[in-house]
Amino acid sequence: MESKFNELCHLARQTACLKSTLALLEWDQQTKLPAAGGAYRAEQITFLAGEIHRRETDPRRGELIHDLTNSDLMADPHNDKAATIRELGWKYSKKVKLPQSLVESIARAGSIGQQIWVEARRENDFQKFAPHLKEIFRLKREEADAIGFEDQLYDALLDEFEPGATTTEVALVLKDLKNDLVPLIQEIEASGNRPDASFLGRNYPVDQQENFCRLASAKIGFDYDRGRLDVTHHPFCSEMGPDDVRIATRYDESWFGTAFFGTLHEAGHGIYEQGLRRDQYGLPPGQYCSLGIHESQSRLWENRVGRSAGFWRYFFERAQSHFGHALSDVNEQKFHAAVNRVEPSLIRVEADEATYDLHIIIRFELEQEIINGNLDTNDLPEAWNSKYQTYLGIQPDSDANGVLQDVHWSAGLVGYFPTYTLGNLYASQFFDQANSDIGDLEQLFSSGEFTP
Amino acid sequence: MESKFNELCHLARQTACLKSTLALLEWDQQTKLPAAGGAYRAEQITFLAGEIHRRETDPRRGELIHDLTNSDLMADPHNDKAATIRELGWKYSKKVKLPQSLVESIARAGSIGQQIWVEARRENDFQKFAPHLKEIFRLKREEADAIGFEDQLYDALLDEFEPGATTTEVALVLKDLKNDLVPLIQEIEASGNRPDASFLGRNYPVDQQENFCRLASAKIGFDYDRGRLDVTHHPFCSEMGPDDVRIATRYDESWFGTAFFGTLHEAGHGIYEQGLRRDQYGLPPGQYCSLGIHESQSRLWENRVGRSAGFWRYFFERAQSHFGHALSDVNEQKFHAAVNRVEPSLIRVEADEATYDLHIIIRFELEQEIINGNLDTNDLPEAWNSKYQTYLGIQPDSDANGVLQDVHWSAGLVGYFPTYTLGNLYASQFFDQANSDIGDLEQLFSSGEFTP
């Protein structure tokens, strides 16, 4: 059994080697690829995704998993080996349901979809993106059908990101949250307490922003010997090896928050990846356990840490030394209040903590409607705008700031959005627990201590 | 036969897809990889090189080649299909002689070797690199033995870069050239005609150098929609798709020539790659025919064009507008003379046209001695310095500027160097022919016309 286990691990590590190579192809597409290189890049991505699927559904892998699942290596379910067999088995049983051609089609559509999305968003042209979006959702429905589900099609997609969670459970959590958030936001609005945030819209030179982003992300624990920071269209984090985790952000010269909180968010993902067990790289004990947990780390560093008073007690002076002109008449208290201002807004990744989850709920509802066949993707801009009116009382001024703002659907990530809200909820619990275990975290932050 | 031909092409194109992915892994290693990412990158490169070899030696490929080689598709040897079958057959017959494990070992040694070389060169520490160099030459000797040869071990390695050429032939060409060059260089030295080039060593800000490199390389025909320019340790050009050719250079703030002529050289490679037949991508008619021909294009743009009077008639004013301070008291004639100054120097890639080939002859002789077992790699610095004394009358001030200056051996490129000199000779013939076919090329250059 030991030799079968080693063989299974060897196969999994080889697949991980291809996956990390695929991650480089994708990272490069989003950060470095020459303008005309997109069509062939999609072919490379499709080919590698196909090779990965072939290996993940290799009958030999199935035999090994079958034999090992019934072996005494499973005696202690908390053991690394048992976890490895169980998780690889779970993955195998899902992957064998997916036809090779569907996997390749989804990979191709995702690569091309992202490229077209970049153009469509830049040109504020939903029609340009519409046929690709339609095709992506068609393929994702086919995927959900192939995987199968007990209750709803959407379950099969959600399970890819938050294993074991069901649509019904998640909907319940989000509904409860919404019932608390809506009156909270109304109360905040009625209070008339609206801190001045206008200085966040002054001129923040991109070079200085990048320096400050690097400074802060390194300080909170992102290791630049094992990672990079680059520029992209939509912030992301990607790992392409046990010592190679890359984050990417975008800069808005006249808005401080875009790059800074975006970088903290992605650095949170990166710190989590860099903290995984190196010796288990390519095996389940060396991998993230769910996207909700992953997002709990990004949202924790972005918000629970990055918008705290202690954080700015340490960082505000440093911000001033980077952006002297923009912050000359601002003090720490005003700055801390500004980055915590609550106000319904159009862009999810820049939303405050109170309204953020409403952005998620909107997406969660819309993607279910599309997957269930109750909403045509061509009608999405209208449905999007109408939900923003209902939940946030505002309407996008353009599709670029509306339905085209997020990269996810273009990349085939359907069922991903709710993990942000789960992440927010997990993050708060982790943070509170850490606070009671370690002591006054804000006190530590204020002296530049982020390691504990 | 048509369907067999199509199947063979399909296999070759799939392999090309993996090769272009491998090229991205290597490009990234040389330009973007985080410091700690090297070990796993070597694993990725090794794994992909192994996969490529497995496909290149696939018995099915052998069957198809065998059947097609005896078919009437070979009737006209100048036909695309005949060329495809012939070239893939030639490659197959070589590759099947190489054990899978050797191919993987060479890939791993080359990836790690390059990483160690970067450190060793930076730290001027040959000892750090020595064990890797020894191992690389040991593996290359094993490779040459496996491939086989008629006359000399080195033939088998040379054939990889300049197919069909033999060591004896190349040695003869180089000897003849040396016999002409040595008195020419002496004559130049004796003439006392030594143009002032000191202003090339003034301060040239890196940003401005980069702008000027981009301007010039684009002007001569490198298409940035289908390519990139990045920073690296040793200049190179790499293609990772039919519309994705990347060049990289390095900057010396106090020497104009390093980045500029380096970029022209790599842009020459890039223009050649960008000019290959896109519809034949991944098949022999869409690939370069030899490294000598490849180098003929880089050396042509670097020297025959880039050091011509016509070129600087067009570009000198533009150089002044980029580097006003450094060139305020220089005129076009002085500048043109300076970039053509002949003087024995230490660094191959920065050598003038007259002394350049002596650098190549030194390397060509040394690598043969090592491959033939007549020189131990540990004794290489001494042998290197002694040959520089003999051929160029100078001695390196450090191993970093001596035996450690070139990336090639660290990457497993043994037998590559003579292609530079072949390239120089081809380039001169192409240029003279173009001059008589098209008319006065320098006249065209002086008005910024590089397209014909």
Residue B272 and residue B288 in contact, taking contact as beta carbons nearer than 8 Å: yes
Integer Cα distance of A214 and A264 in angstroms:
10
Does the pLDDT at position A444 exceed 90?
yes
Catalytic, out of A26, A160, A266, A295? A266
Residue B82 and residue B74 in contact, taking contact as beta carbons nearer than 8 Å: yes
Integer Cα distance of B210 and B231 in angstroms:
10
SS3 at position B18: helix
SS3 at position B237: strand
Q: Name which of A233, A292, A230, A320 is nearest A267 in CA terms.
A: A230
* Interface ipTM: 0.95
Integer Cα distance of B165 and B222 in angstroms:
30
Q: Which residues in chain B have Cβ-Cβ distances shorter than 8 Å to A111? A: none
Integer Cα distance of A284 and B448 in angstroms:
59
Angle between helices A59-69 and A2-31 (to 10 degrees): 130
Catalytic site includes residue B266 = yes
Query: Which DSSP category does B238 fall into?
Result: E
Strands, sheet with A236-239, edge to edge from the N-terminal-most edge strand: A227-231, A245-249, A236-239
What average pLDDT does chain A have? 96
The encoded tokens of residue A73 equal 């290596």
Nearest to A36 among B17, B24, B225 (CB): B225
Nearest to B20 among A32, A44, A225 (CB): A44
Integer Cα distance of A83 and A102 in angstroms:
29
The encoded tokens of residue B182 equal 């040595």
CB pair distance less than 8 Å for B37 and A224: no
**Selected residue of A13, A15, A222, A244 to mutate for chain B interface (largest B Cβ count, 10 A):** A244
**DSSP assignments along A251-303, one per residue:** --TT-HHHHHHHHHHHHHHHHHHHTS-GGGTTSGGGS-S-HHHHHHHHHIIII
Catalytic, out of B266, B273, B295, B302? B266
Q: Name which of A422, A199, A452 is nearest A310 in CA terms.
A: A452
Report pLDDT for A193: 87
Query: Which DSSP category does B280 fall into?
Result: G
Nearest to A225 among B35, B47, B243 (CB): B35
Helix or strand holding residue B220 (H, E): helix B206-220
Residue B224 and residue A34 in contact, taking contact as beta carbons nearer than 8 Å: yes
List CB contacts of A446: < 8 A, sequence separation 6 or more.
A309, A310, A311, A313, A314
What are the b/e assignments for A137-170, b being 16+ CB within 10 Å? bebbbebbeebebeebbbbbbbbbbbeebbbeeb
Integer Cα distance of A168 and A153 in angstroms:
12
Angle at B401 between CA B397 and CA B405, to 5 degrees: 160
Q: Which residues in chain B have Cβ-Cβ distances shorter than 8 Å to A40? A: 20, 241-244, 281
Q: What is the pLDDT of residues A268-285, one digit of tens each?
A: 999 999 999 999 999 999
Report pLDDT for B66: 97
CB pair distance less than 8 Å for A36 and B228: no
Report pLDDT for B104: 97
List CB contacts of B127: < 8 A, sequence separation 6 or more.
none
SS3 at position A397: coil
Q: What is the pLDDT of residues A160-173, one digit of tens each?
A: 999 999 999 999 99
List CB contacts of A265: < 8 A, sequence separation 6 or more.
A235, A298, A299, A301, A302, A349
The encoded tokens of residue B238 equal 């790499």
Report pLDDT for B290: 97
Cα Rg of chain B (Å, integer):
22
CB pair distance less than 8 Å for A241 and B37: yes
Report pLDDT for B87: 96
The encoded tokens of residue A281 equal 């790289």
List CB contacts of A9: < 8 A, sequence separation 6 or more.
A84, A283
Integer Cα distance of B216 and B167 in angstroms:
37
Determine whether A447 is exposed, middle or buried from the number of CB atoms within 10 Å of its CB (0-12, 13-18, 19+).
exposed
Integer Cα distance of A210 and A45 in angstroms:
30
Q: What is the pLDDT of residues A178-227, one digit of tens each?
A: 999 999 999 999 998 899 999 999 999 999 999 999 999 999 999 999 99
Q: Name which of B203, B222, B310, B206 is nearest B260 in CA terms.
A: B206
Report pLDDT for A135: 98
Integer Cα distance of A290 and A163 in angstroms:
7
Q: Above pLDDT 90, what percent of chain A?
A: 98
- Cα separation values, A67 from A4, A62, A213, A249, A313, Å: 8, 9, 50, 45, 57
Report pLDDT for A324: 86
Integer Cα distance of B403 and B384 in angstroms:
6
Sign of CA dihedral A291, A292, A293, A294: positive
Between A and B, how many CB-CB pairs are < 8 A?
90
The encoded tokens of residue B20 equal 């272009």
Helix or strand holding residue A230 (H, E): strand A227-231
Integer Cα distance of B254 and B245 in angstroms:
28
pLDDT band at A55 (very low <50, low <70, confident <90, very high): very high
Residue B426 and residue B292 in contact, taking contact as beta carbons nearer than 8 Å: yes
Does the pLDDT at position A398 exceed 90?
yes
**DSSP assignments along B154-198, one per residue:** HHHHHHHHSTT--HHHHHHHHHHHHHHHHHHHHHHHHHT-----G
CB pair distance less than 8 Å for B243 and A36: yes
**pLDDT under 50 in chain B at which residues?**
none
Nearest residue in chain A measured CA to CA from B245: A34
Q: Name which of A192, A424, A62, A379 is nearest A432 in CA terms.
A: A424
The encoded tokens of residue B14 equal 């799939």
Contacts of range B86-93, beta carbons closer than 8 Å, 24 or more positions apart:
B86/B284, B87/B284, B88/B8, B88/B12, B88/B61, B88/B284, B89/B65, B90/B163, B91/B56, B92/B56, B92/B57, B92/B61, B92/B62, B92/B65
The encoded tokens of residue B323 equal 């580097």
Q: Above pLDDT 70, what percent of chain A?
A: 100
Pairing of strands A245-249, B245-249: unpaired
Show which residues on chain B lie within 8 Å of chain A, measured between beta carbons. Answer: 14, 17-18, 20-21, 24-25, 28, 32-37, 39-41, 43-44, 47-48, 223-228, 240-244, 246, 281
Show which residues on chain A lie within 8 Å of chain B, measured between beta carbons. Answer: 14, 17-18, 20-21, 24-25, 28, 32-37, 39-41, 43-44, 47-48, 223-228, 240-244, 246, 281
The encoded tokens of residue B298 equal 């880089």
**Selected residue of A10, A43, A279 to mutate for chain B interface (largest B Cβ count, 10 A):** A43
Q: Name which of B359, B373, B374, B367 is nearest B405 in CA terms.
A: B359
Contacts of range B149-156, beta carbons closer than 8 Å, 24 or more positions apart:
B152/B368, B152/B372, B153/B371, B153/B372, B154/B367, B154/B368, B154/B371, B154/B372, B154/B415
Q: Where are the beta strands (DSSP E) in B333-441?
A: none
Backbone conformation region of residue A413, classed left if phi is above 0, alpha if psi is from -120 to 50, else beta: beta
Sign of CA dihedral B100, B104, B110, B113: negative
CB pair distance less than 8 Å for A242 and B40: yes
